[in-house]
Every structure is written in C-alpha cells, then in structure tokens.
Structure 1
C-alpha cells in the first residue's frame, strides 16, 4: 500500500486512473482536490483527512475506510509526521508571559487526565489515543530509516548544574558529530542533556555548550532538589538557549529525536530535541525506544525507570527480539556497582550469551563514545 502525505503525491496517484494501487492518505485537506467522487477506492485508507460530505460518502460506499477526526479532542487521531518542538510547545511564549500551562502539550495532558488517564471510560477516546500512537510509530520508523540510532537513558531528576549533565551532553555531542542519531525518553534531566549535546553538535565552538549550561543551570531560590522541571522558568531558560544559539536551517543540521509520554505529563518534554515522538501508551513508547536504538544504548545514573530499561534492553539482546544484539554501556562504575548494583546481575545474566562482549561499564566519556562507534551492525 502506498502512503501519501502530501498533495503532489496525491495528484500523481489520482492521475494513475483505474490501475492505481491502494493508498493510505494521511492528514491531508482534500476538500478542494478533484478525483475523489468517481471510480473505485477499494482498499484505500483516509486517515484524519479533511473531506467534503460528498467525498466522504462516496469513498465509504466504494470500499474505502475513512477515519474522521472530529474536533472534540485537543490532539489529532492521526499525524503524518512527528511533532516539532514548536508544535508541542505551541502557545508558550516567554516574551508575553504565556507559560507552559497554555501549550499544546499541557492541554493534551489535562485532557488525558480528565478522560481517565491510562484507562479512559469512553471507547472513542481509547481508540483515538491508539490511532494517534500508531501514527507516531509509523512516522518514527520513517524518520530513522537509514540512520544509526543510539539512545541515552537516565534520570529525569538530574539537574543542569550536575557534572553528569554536562558529561552526558558531551557524549551526545561527540556521537552526533560521528553520525549517530541520538534518541532519549524526551523528558528533563539526563534526557534533556542528550538533546542539548546533539543541538550543540551543530556549533563549531565547543565553549558554546559550556556557556549554554551556564544559562540553563541557575535555579530559583528555595527550589526543591531533583525537581528542576517544576521550576516556573525551566522552559524559559531552555528557550533562551535556543534563541541565543539557533540551529542551522532544516536539511543542513544534525537532528535528534525525543520520545516522551503523556503518562508522565507532569514532566514537560525538553526543548532541544528537533523532532518529538510523543505517546499516550508508555509501554509502547518504552519498548519501542529501546527496540529502535539498534546501534547501542548508554545508561546514565537513574532510578527505577532507568533500571527497568537496563533489563528491558538486556532482554531484547538476550532473545534477539529485534535483530542482532547491540552495545549496552553503563556510565558510572560506582553508581551501577554500589549505589544500585545492577552490573553484577547484568554481567551474570549475559555470561555465555552473544551480547556478553557488548556490555561495558565505565566512568570514561571517551570510552563510551569509542564502544558505541566501534559497533558494526551490518558487518
């Protein structure tokens, strides 16, 4: 089935006439486009497209599946592409005093809470969420096709002033410059550091990232430790950095992808990922993030969520669930052997398995980068 998400491709498909193959039309306004009121559309999908009543009626009676997107929710049931930060934070404007709470992201989170959180009472709501997440997965796989994705996982409570924050950013910057596509869970803390590093991989001056962290790090007096994302100016500081050190134009810049979830909506997504694959279903998001990180995962210090991800990734490697095993690098020897002694279990679990030589524990940023870059998935 052909996937069509722009009007030029749509016009070419219509011109094929009777021999055209089934197609999936994604989030297009077709109300002024001719060719959708005659002929057969058996096997075609129209996902969140704008249609006239005549078009919609004709399409459904000639074999098409039409999924409309009524204006009763703050999010679309289908997207043809991943979000951009500008879309996720639409409404936020520090210059006018409009804070995060008026953004698209915050509105969707409030709707998620009001309609039942993980267990919506209304079947149309649960279906719309699943359709949304399905389209995000499709768009995500389209985006990473041909890339070498590497993920960094770690705690959301890591503060910008912490030396580990800068360390993660340097690792991500080096990997981005070496041609790896950086992924993370898309939130604050270690996740934000990942995308900050990818952002500044575009800058020739390495001191620029040091200066940027100097802008990001100062917190309001009395702010609670480990909850920097709750500071009233957390996003404002990030936007100041974005404005002061802007990226090159799309197409000539190095990108990164954040993969957050509305399940943790009290933690806003970070502003430095250039593309955002945001999900309602955290289970789909977490398993999928580790599955697509086919060129390795770095585990920075974190708590229960990060520990879960370590063993989730180990299980994927252990059973080759998504193809050949890939590197697992634990950053912080003392943290992962003493504070949370995950390493001995991982070391024992991998004994005699194909991925044993792909797991590493280190305190050395350069070794992290070297281990990831040494890996060759395709020979």
Structure 2
C-alpha cells in the first residue's frame, strides 16, 4: 500500500461508536456524511437553503453547551498534536510530560480529545491528578474521545470547537502534527497578531519537526514582506518541557500585572 493510500481516510468501521454531537450511533445508524460536510458542500438540490435558519439554532446550541461545560474550568492550556502519533513515538512521551507539567503548574489540559498526541497530553494530565478536557469533533474516521478525558464535549462544527480552544485557554502548546494542527496553530497566531486575543503565548515543541516551518517563514514570508519580524516573536520553539510551561506562566504573570485592579485574572 502506498503512503497516500495509508494516509487516506478509511471507511467507517461499523463496530465503532460514531459521535454526532452528544448522540452516539452504531451500525446502520452511522450517517454517510458529517454535519460540516453537509453545510459546506454546495452540490445537490437547492432546497437545503431553506434549512439554514434551523442550522443556526444547532450552531447556537453548540456554543451554549461548550460555554456551559467549560465556564468554571479555571486556568487551562490547549495542547495540539497529531492523532496519528503512535504510543511508542517519542512525541507521545513528550505529550505525556507536557500534560503532567501543566497540571503541576496549576493548569487544566485541553486537547481535541482524540488519539495520538492528544491522548498523550490527556494521559499526562489525568495521571498527574489534574483536569483533562477533550473537545471532540464529528468526523467519519474518528472514534470518539480517548479514555483519559475527564470532561468531554463533542462538536459538529469546527468553528464552534475552535472558539472553545482559545476562549478557555491561557496559551497553546503545539506538538508535531498535520493539517489540523497547522490550522489551529495559524488561527491562534492570527488572533494574537490582530490583537483579537492578548498575552497569549504559542509554544511549538519539537525543534527538528518545526524548524523547517520557522525557516520558511523567515526566508519566504518575511523575505516577501507578508509578515513582519515581530510576528515571528509570537512563537516560542523549544524541546524543553520546563521552558514551554515557563513561557505560559510568564505570560500569565504579565497578564496579571497589566490587568486593571479587580479584573479577576487567573491566579497561579
């Protein structure tokens, strides 16, 4: 089998649970497309247009459920990484150390709730006695939340889920990952760059994996003038777990110093 064939989404295994928001489906009840796909795919008859106002209610409910579940979470950090990371990969062990270190520093750990690097961070947080959060997404090739998630919310829409990753986190730690990880990374960088969020540290862990991306940003993007030199300062690149967590803590301290009196910032 070629690499491309291995990487392609596989047909849904009817023996696995399929999650559609809070609903679990099995066997013949598993749908052949996802909610996001039906929203974004414009092919087919035009009568779907008349159902969009009702989709707004479903979207609203996802935000309400997410806000309600996470409102009292306290200080937290979102950890991203590939769902394809194997348990014997050094990145998996790194994810466990990151999850445990964040808990010891006083943070809950938020991931996408899936397998691989996400599972590793949840496992580390769970083993350290902290709060392990998973924000799942309805996908045709995902198998639900990993076993180390203490508090889980399943989403139909990526944009609702991504809002929760940012709203309830003090920063991002990003392990090696693919398109989904890159999407979350660059959205976070854009939000900080445009000051939609402030004092929000972004840490890339794995210098060997990420250095090529940083070099490209410096040579191509900065060289072409499409980003500025200070934009690169928004990213911390390291292999050291203590440095990664220390970057989050330092930003938290700065946030507390800069905050107006009585603003209710998070304590360490």
TM > 0.5 fold call:
yes
SS in 1 for 2:155: coil
Which residue pairs with 1:277 in the alignment? Answer: 153
Preserved CA contact (<8 Å) 1:136 1:279: no
**What's the RMSD between the two structures over aligned residues?**
3.0
Preserved CA contact (<8 Å) 1:109 1:265: no
1:305 aligns with 2:232: no
Which residue pairs with 2:118 in the alignment? Answer: 191
Which residue pairs with 2:164 in the alignment? Answer: 288
Separation of aligned partners in 2, 1:312 and 1:117: 22
TM-score (norm 2): 0.72
SS in 1 for 2:25: helix
- Taking structure 1 as reference, are residues 168 and 266 closer, same or farther at Cα in structure 2, changes over 3 Å only? closer
**Structure 1 gap ranges (5+):** 1-98, 203-253
Alignment of 1:1-379 (within 5 A): 100-101=16-17, 106-107=24-25, 113=31, 117-118=35-36, 119=38, 121=48, 123=51, 126=55, 129-144=58-73, 147-202=74-129, 254-263=130-139, 266-293=142-169, 295-322=170-197, 324-338=198-212, 341-342=213-214, 344-345=216-217, 348=222, 349=227, 351-352=229-230, 356=233, 358-376=234-252, 377-379=255-257
Separation of aligned partners in 2, 1:112 and 1:168: 32
Preserved CA contact (<8 Å) 2:35 2:156: no
Separation of aligned partners in 2, 1:291 and 1:312: 13
Separation of aligned partners in 2, 1:149 and 1:102: 28
**Structure 2 gap ranges (5+):** 1-14, 40-47, 258-268
Preserved CA contact (<8 Å) 1:169 1:193: yes
User: Which structure is richer in relative contact order (CA contacts within 8 A, separation 6 or more)?
Assistant: 2
TM-score (norm 1): 0.52
Instruction: Give deviations 1:318-341, integer Å, cap 9, x for gaps.
Output: 01113x131111111111123xx2
* Number of residue pairs aligned between Structure 1 and Structure 2: 222
